[in-house]
Amino acid sequence: MGDPSRRRFLSSALLGATGLPLVAAAAGPAPSGRFREETQELPLKADADVIVCGAGPAGVAAALTAARAGARVRLFDVHGCLGGVWTAGLLTYIFDFDKPGVARELRAKLDARGARRGANASRFVYEPEEMKLLLEELCVAAGVGIRLHTRVCAAFKSGRRLHTIVTESKAGREAWTAPVFIDATGDGDLGAQSGCEWDVGQSKDCPCQPMTMNALAVVKDVRALAAFTSFNGTDSFTGPGGHLTCVEAFKAELKRAGVEASYGHPTIFPVRDNLVMLMLNHEYGIKPWDADAISEATVRSRAEVFRIMRALRALGGVWEGLQIAATAEQIGVRDGRRIRGRYVMTKADLLAGARQEDAVARVTFGVDIHAGSKEANRAKPIDNGDFRMRPYDIPLRALVARDVDGLMMAGRCISGDFVAHASYRVTGNAVAMGEAAGAVASLAARSGRLPHQVSWDEAQPVIQAARAKGL
Ligand SMILES: Cc1cc2nc3c(=O)[nH]c(=O)nc-3n(C[C@H](O)[C@H](O)[C@H](O)COP(=O)(O)OP(=O)(O)OC[C@H]3O[C@@H](n4cnc5c(N)ncnc54)[C@H](O)[C@@H]3O)c2cc1C
């Protein structure tokens, strides 16, 4: 990104946000049990046209597209790699990916590395370590200023206009200003810090989807596990060899081993050779901003994964030699904040198969609501909404913050209700949203406008030009 211009930023104008600690307040006596942080000067960098917060599937696509469209881009992530749930979360499976642009490019580049399994262009297995490297190479080549190990922790506005964020890292606290920001944190951290209204789960008390810790394991001979491994030669859900058939066979093995997985559809599937992915647990009622609860859920779920693997290994036979290769650094968060946009997608859109003039993507993935409690999990681990969903459009307006100017969202934190989110959140859609947000943000920043002043039609040539650079 070249040598940034450095000024000093006085973090005094605190925004009332949403339960998140903001960065600094005036010194002075604080009520008992509270500590008042002193106002301080921070280094201020003003070297970006677009700042993308969060480098998951949505954030990487946004940063890549904005940079390819000519914007100077800063991309922040709290983890030590790009990819979010794809990599730090060890997801290994992709849904709703048969889309043009960055999605098609990633699929082709994974294929070129031999890092993708499956004939279906929309749903397939990928190797998470290859994905890490690929995303880094693409972002470096596009000139994205990548900053890892850095958390976005506060936001500052003048009136409705977001102008500065503050990050925290080993480099201390730093302030960053830009004309346009994209919240791709999955949990909507930036939108919340900026004072946007937001929703979560079925209500603010978070009857919400459970969290799951994914893991990788090595087995002696994956062919010997064919009856228990989902997506092993077929991507169908039902019938012989289908996902649910394998799940039931795997559950019977768990029973034989004397253990029960807390996720009612425990899943094991091949990633490469004798490397398999495990999705075994559910953690209920955890709010993604409750650091204590997330820490406890992480510790509990890692222990559960090991408990189950040890019990299976003790069975011997096809399970002999089973070893955990890696557990996810980040427990998988299905439900985070949904920042209010200029359009809120709802269940009615899914029922109607809504078409939008400013459609940034068409969602074909159905509703996927994991049980919200142990009891519900016993009765029905996954609820598909009990209605017929029709492919529907995500409008650009759902990616533009309603309450704050200069802020867009991409990925699972865009604007929608609980049911719509349970469908559009999968990674093919996150990538398409990121691409759209990156193009619009770049256009807005470089033409001195706000994202809501840029039309989707205007963004088309920008997207096409950015795509041409990705071929
Ligand atoms: C257990 C589980 C299974 C799933 N199964 C599938 C599946 O099979 N296929 C599929 O396609 N989708 C699946 N999904 C859904 C999908 O993974 C997510 O919805 C998707 O990752 C959304 O992408 P995103 O970029 O919005 O968010 P994320 O992948 O969550 O990325 C957000 C990024 O922001 C970073 N971040 C967060 N807060 C901050 C902050 N304050 N400062 C800096 N960085 C921050 C995070 O570190 C992360 O890298 C699954 C999700 C889970 C949890």
Instruction: Output the 3-class SS for 4-32.
Output: CCEEEEECCCCCCCCCCCCCCCCCCCCCC
Task: Tell me the CA–centroid distance for residue 314 and ligand 1, in Å.
Answer: 34
Residue 208's closest CA among 221, 197, 199, 219? 199
Tell me the mean pLDDT in the region 443-471: 96
Could you tell me the distance, in angstroms and rounded to a whole number, from the CA of residue 333 to the centre of ligand 1?
7
pLDDT band at 9 (very low <50, low <70, confident <90, very high): low
Rounded to the nearest angstrom, the distance between the alpha carbon of 189 and the centre of ligand 1 is 13
pLDDT at 323 over 60: yes
The enclosing H or E element of 158 equals strand 151-158
Give the ligand 1 atom nearest the CA of 151.
42
Domains of the chain: 6-23+42-201+389-470 (3.50.50.60), 214-327 (no CATH)
Instruction: Find the 111 Cα to ligand 1 centroid distance in Å.
Output: 22
User: Mean pLDDT throughout 184-206?
Assistant: 95
Q: Identify the band that residue 8 occupies on the pLDDT scale cut at 50, 70 and 90.
A: low
Min mean pLDDT across 74-83, 192-201, 367-376 is at: 367-376
Say if residue 33 is exposed, middle or buried (CB neighbours under 10 Å; 0-12, 13-18, 19+). Answer: exposed
Helix/strand/coil for 248: helix
Determine the residue of 117, 169, 185 to mutate for testing ligand 1's pocket, defined as the one with the most ligand atoms within 8 A of the Cβ atom.
Answer: 185
* Residue 43 Cα to ligand 1 middle (Å): 30
User: Closest ligand 1 atom, CA of 214?
Assistant: 1
Phi/psi of residue 201, nearest 5 degrees: 50, -140
Q: Is the CB of 185 under 6 A from ligand 1?
A: yes
Element at 177 (helix H, strand E): strand 172-177
Report how far apart the first and last C-alpha atoms of the chain are (Å, whole number): 23
**Ligand 1 atom with the shortest distance to the CA of 97:** 11
Q: How far is CA 114 from CA 21, 94, 173, in A?
A: 44, 16, 41
Ligand 1 within 6 A of CB of 76: yes
Ligand 1 atom, smallest distance to 279 CA? 1
- For residue 210 and ligand 1, the question of a CB distance below 6 A is answered with no
Question: Which tokens in the block code for residue 375?
Answer: 């009891």
- Separation of CA 274 and ligand 1 centre (Å): 26
Closest C-alpha to ligand 1, atom 18: 426
Confidence check: pLDDT of 104 > 80: yes
Higher pLDDT, residue 5 or 59: 59
Question: Do the strands 198-199 and 180-183 form a parallel or antiparallel pair, or are they unpaired?
Answer: unpaired
Q: What pLDDT score was predicted for residue 3? A: 41
Residue 10 in this model has a pLDDT that exceeds 70: no
CA distances from 135 to 67, 188, 239, 430 (A): 14, 22, 36, 15
Ligand 1 centre to CA of 164 (Å) is: 24
Is the CB of 332 inside a 6 Å radius of any atom of ligand 1? Answer: yes
Answer yes or no: is the C-beta of 334 below 6 A from any ligand 1 atom: yes
Q: State the pLDDT confidence band at 455, using cuts at 50, 70 and 90.
A: very high
Split at pLDDT 50, 70, 90, the class of 387 is confident
User: Cβ(438) to ligand 1 under 6 A?
Assistant: no
pLDDT score for 246: 95
What's the gap in Å between 84 CA and the centre of ligand 1? 5
Closest ligand 1 atom to Cα of 96: 11
Q: What is the pTM of this model?
A: 0.95
CA trace torsion 17, 72, 79, 332 (10° rounding): 70
Q: Is 243 in the pocket of ligand 1 (CB under 6 A)?
A: no
How far is residue 336's CA from residue 189's CA, in Å, rounded to a whole number? Answer: 9
- How many CB atoms are closer than 10 A to CB 402? 19
Ligand 1 binding pocket includes 433 (Cβ within 6 Å): no
Distance 247 CA to ligand 1 centre (A): 24
Q: What is d(CA 18, CA 280) in angstroms, rounded to the nearest whole number?
A: 32
Residue 118 Cβ contacting ligand 1 at under 6 Å: no
Question: In the predicted model, what is the mean pLDDT of residues 52-70?
Answer: 98
Q: How confident is the model over 318-325, as a mean pLDDT?
A: 97
Place of tokens 């993708």: 116
Ligand 1 atom having least distance to the Cα of 189: 41
CA of 470 to the centre of ligand 1 (A): 23
CB of residue 425 inside a 6 A radius of ligand 1: yes
Q: Express each pLDDT in 128-153 by its tens digit.
A: 999 999 999 999 999 999 999 999 99
**Strand pairing partners for 124?**
94
Q: Is 365's C-beta closer than 6 angstroms to any atom of ligand 1?
A: no
What Rg, from alpha-carbon coordinates, does the chain have?
Answer: 22
Alpha carbon of 2 to ligand 1 centroid (Å): 30
Burial of 152 (0-12, 13-18, 19+ CB in 10 A): buried
Counting atoms of ligand 1 from 1, which one is nearest the CA of 82? 49
